Structure 1
Amino acid sequence: MPGTEPRGAPAVACLHADDALLVLAKPAGLLCVPGRGADKQDCLSARAQQHWPGALVVHRLDMATSGLVLMARSAGVQRALSQAFAERQVQKRYQAVVQGCMALPADSAWGDIDLPIAADWERRPLRVVDAAQGKPSHTRWRVLDHDAAAQTTRLELEPVTGRTHQLRVHLAALGHPILGDALYADAATAARTPRLLLHATRLAFAHPECGAWVQYALPAEF
């Protein structure tokens, strides 16, 4: 979507557009929807609506996270896609680089994190693992690569549930925070990179109009 971004802002690319939906590539540092204040009005949805008037938000990524985002081009498609997300019919994959060398699961290529997450009301918008008040939260993970020299691990992640900050909270709770995470990592880990090393790499779902299974991929740039 050239020509719509404020000067100096990261560009936004469209991977796919049809009469029903848009598949956009959100850069790190860009809001999905407007925030509070005049300085937070530039966002992915506003840029999309300049090219596709009436485009509607279906789901969001954190401002610090990059990767694939869907938008709907009608209220009916928005409802259908929102329902698909709510019923876990959309397959989502992420990549992250975390502090430390995570061990491979003993009996499977994939590991599971089942830790309930609740709002940390005294430190909003942060979230916290809370066995008493938290909602069930499930993340699957597998190791893609170890960097022994840097003492980091590249992971593929599948959020089975969709809690706010779920991947960031779960990995920090295991003692392997994501590099560049200013909210959940220690100061040294947060300072290792200028951005959060978390990226939404894949979305797969049944197209809301024709029913065909479609999938989109966007490699991480880190």
Structure 2
Amino acid sequence: MANESCDIPGQGLRVPPSEVPDPAQDIATADDRGEVVLAGGCFWCTEAVYRQLAGVTEVLPGYAGGSADTANYEAVCSGRTRHAEAIRIRYEPARISFGQLLKVFMAVAHDPTQKDRQGNDVGPQYRSAIFPLDADQRYVAGAYLAQLEQAGIYAAPIATTIEDMDTFFVAESHHHDYAARNPGQPYIQYVSTPKVEKLRRYFADGLGEKIRG
């Protein structure tokens, strides 16, 4: 992204990512809409993590939380548009649940204790946010953030916000599947790839059947 620097995936945790608890509340399969929008810094990185999960059928990078006229990469990078770099995940609830996707988000995909930044990527466009698409998602997300805060597993307070979802604007095509198409790019090597490796290392058991071979 704007600053090619190394952040440490999960650096806010006091415990290994595998010890992040499952959500005590989740959405029943029959009631799960199979779509979620999450923002956790660089969308190249979060997209790369979620593309590893079996049951996830589509991951699209984009912009959430702002208006259509400034929903483009150049404008969003200014930090003045109210958008967050985000991903829209579509998934099969019978194979992976909303709660499990949140667990990956809070344990591996980004550092939820950083406010308006991830590592040296600084600005509100890099904020940690969950954009619920219905009342069930809002309830489960709020309950899980409270559960994790109470567990005391982070070295600082959780900065993740729960924000209203109006429209998700799909990012320009050259951002799609960026990490897989550009494995030698320095930012991908030092920020994105370690997150993917951490997912595979710490969730080989707990989410093993859901990580693509």
What TM-score does the superposition give when structure 2 sets the normalisation length? 0.29
Pick the structure with more strand per residue: 1
Task: Tell me which protein shows more helix as a share of its residues.
Answer: 2
Structure possessing the higher radius of gyration over alpha carbons: 1
